[in-house]
């Protein structure tokens, strides 16, 4: 009913709008006296010091959280991170032992491949750390440690608030480990914690500008194919933006690391092809401007996402979505929101069954 949907037309939209609160609920109980405190987590300092590799294993959007997680954890902790989809991990004879922390991420906690991958990791001697939304689910029960995302029930098949709270759980875990590993200064830790605490407010600001994204969607909802480009963290978010779009709008879409464009995808750019260019990674901003020029020269229409103040983008892109300034490591949490809204509005303009897209299930409990 409309009431269940909070007065909105779809659960997906309600869940997008709930993100500031979901993030707040996931983050704030874990910050005490300026430190990350994870109650019930049993990772000891000795164990943390012994870890030589982190493996992140998940499916779908939760896997995309893992791709962001690799960049974040390697940058913060200088510890190698591998990311794998669970259905591959289980069959690839992964190199995992007592010194590997295997982080499994799952909204439902019931995804068959993720459960099987976690069991395989345990069998190989790894410690398992689960980031889960559904309390008491199979993964939550079986993992050595559980860090819950407090997103609340998610009804729409296409995940939004579960993805964004999973991302904050990764930041919480990374900062928590950093506190034990002495690899960051107190000032850096304070800065990351502060960046996390400001996220709900920033996301609320992005949501206030939703009509601009709706307008952009109204110009492009008939596209046959839409490409998402980005570098490093922006590339990780591009994967999720592209998946959201194809899941609910049925528009063909690909995410590409922008530097790889020349090695294939650029062949598909023709007059009017829509390219969403994520340009929020400061050190790579100029490189993204060059990529935008390259696709524009072949006729692409470019929608750019950039950080407020990066006005040089206005010379290159056709439409620009600005997101608030924040610490670069937490930027993915902001960038994903306009992409969720874009996918939502495109599907809505096409009149599709947004909450129950064809062929997809909320939780894939069979192999
Ligand atoms: C399905 C859902 C996705 C989700 C994936 C993993 O494909 O449609 O939204 O990301 O499963 O689900 P999980 O519950 O393990 O996070």
Task: Give the model confidence (pLDDT) of 140-176 as tens digits.
Answer: 999 999 999 999 999 999 999 999 999 999 999 999 9
- The verdict on the CB of residue 134 being under 6 Å from ligand 1 is no
pLDDT tens profile 74-121: 999 999 999 999 999 999 999 999 999 999 999 999 999 999 999 999
Question: What is the C-alpha separation between 352 and 95, in angstroms, rounded?
Answer: 43
* Nearest CA-CA partner of 96 in 59, 135, 57: 57
Question: What is the C-alpha separation between 39 and 319, in angstroms, rounded?
Answer: 44
C-alpha of residue 126 to centroid of ligand 1, in Å: 24
Percentage of residues in the chain with pLDDT exceeding 90?
Answer: 93
Question: What is the C-alpha separation between 355 and 13, in angstroms, rounded?
Answer: 9
- Categorize the per-residue pLDDT at 13 as very low, low, confident or very high, splitting at 50, 70 and 90: very high
CB 188 within 8 A of CB 8: no
Residue count (the chain): 367
Average pLDDT, the chain: 96
Mean pLDDT along residues 11-17: 97
CB 59 within 8 A of CB 85: yes
Testing ligand 1's pocket by substitution, the residue of 59, 160, 166 carrying the most ligand atoms inside 8 A of its CB is: 59
Ligand 1 atom at minimal distance to the Cα of residue 159:
9
Mean pLDDT along residues 5-21: 95
Active-site residue 282, yes or no?
no
Mean pLDDT along residues 57-74: 98
Q: What is the DSSP letter of 94?
A: -
Percentage of residues in the chain with pLDDT exceeding 70?
Answer: 100
- The verdict on the CB of residue 133 being under 6 Å from ligand 1 is no
Helix (H) or strand (E) holding 75: helix 60-77
Ligand 1 atom at minimal distance to the Cα of residue 61:
10
CA-to-CA separations, 147 to 81, 97, 347, in angstroms, rounded: 19, 22, 33
Per-residue pLDDT at 1 exceeds 80: no
Ligand 1 atom at minimal distance to the Cα of residue 166:
16
SS3 call for 95: coil
Per-residue pLDDT at 3 exceeds 80: no
- The verdict on the CB of residue 258 being under 6 Å from ligand 1 is no
Full-model pTM: 0.97
- The verdict on the CB of residue 360 being under 6 Å from ligand 1 is yes
How confident is the model at residue 99, as a pLDDT? 97
Q: Pairing relation of β-strands 35-36 and 274-278?
A: unpaired
- The verdict on the CB of residue 61 being under 6 Å from ligand 1 is yes
**Residue having the nearest C-alpha atom to atom 3 of ligand 1:** 60
pLDDT tens profile 302-346: 999 999 999 999 999 999 999 999 999 999 999 999 999 999 999
Testing ligand 1's pocket by substitution, the residue of 107, 161, 355, 359 carrying the most ligand atoms inside 8 A of its CB is: 107
Mean pLDDT along residues 49-58: 97
How confident is the model at residue 4, as a pLDDT? 87
pLDDT tens profile 250-276: 999 999 999 999 898 888 999 999 999
- The verdict on the CB of residue 363 being under 6 Å from ligand 1 is yes
């Amino acid at each position: 009913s409309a009431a269940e949907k909070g007065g909105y037309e779809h659960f997906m939209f309600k869940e997008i709008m709930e993100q500031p609160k979901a993030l707040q609920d996931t983050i704030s109980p874990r910050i005490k006296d300026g430190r990350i405190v994870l109650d019930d987590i049993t990772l000891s300092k000795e164990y943390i010091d012994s870890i030589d590799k982190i493996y992140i294993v998940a499916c779908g959007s939760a896997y995309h959280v893992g791709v962001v997680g690799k960049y974040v954890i390697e940058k913060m902790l200088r510890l190698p991170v591998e990311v794998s989809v669970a259905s591959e991990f289980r069959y690839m004879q992964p190199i995992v032992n007592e010194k590997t922390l295997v982080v499994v991420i799952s909204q439902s906690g019931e995804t068959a491949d993720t459960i099987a991958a976690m069991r395989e990791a345990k069998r190989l001697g790894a410690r398992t750390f689960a980031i889960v939304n559904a309390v008491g689910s199979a993964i939550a029960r079986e993992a050595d440690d559980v860090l819950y995302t407090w997103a609340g029930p998610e009804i729409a098949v296409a995940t939004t608030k579960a993805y964004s709270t999973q991302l904050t759980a990764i930041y919480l875990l990374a900062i928590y480990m950093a506190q034990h590993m002495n690899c960051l200064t107190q000032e850096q830790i304070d800065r990351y914690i502060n960046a996390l605490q400001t996220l709900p407010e920033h996301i609320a600001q992005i949501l206030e500008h939703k009509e601009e994204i709706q307008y952009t969607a109204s110009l492009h909802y008939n596209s046959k194919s839409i490409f998402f480009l980005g570098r490093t963290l922006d590339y990780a978010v591009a994967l999720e933006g592209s998946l959201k779009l194809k899941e609910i709008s049925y528009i063909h879409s690909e995410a590409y690391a922008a530097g790889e464009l020349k090695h294939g995808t650029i062949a598909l750019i023709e007059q009017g092809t829509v390219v969403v260019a994520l340009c929020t990674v400061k050190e790579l901003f100029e490189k993204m401007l060059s990529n935008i020029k390259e696709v524009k020269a072949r006729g692409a229409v470019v929608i750019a996402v950039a950080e407020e103040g990066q006005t040089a983008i206005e010379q290159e892109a056709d439409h620009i979505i600005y997101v608030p300034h924040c610490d670069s490591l937490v930027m993915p949490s902001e960038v994903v929101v306009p992409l969720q809204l874009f996918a939502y509005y495109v599907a809505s303009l096409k009149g599709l069954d947004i909450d129950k897209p064809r062929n997809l299930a909320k939780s894939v409990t069979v192999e």
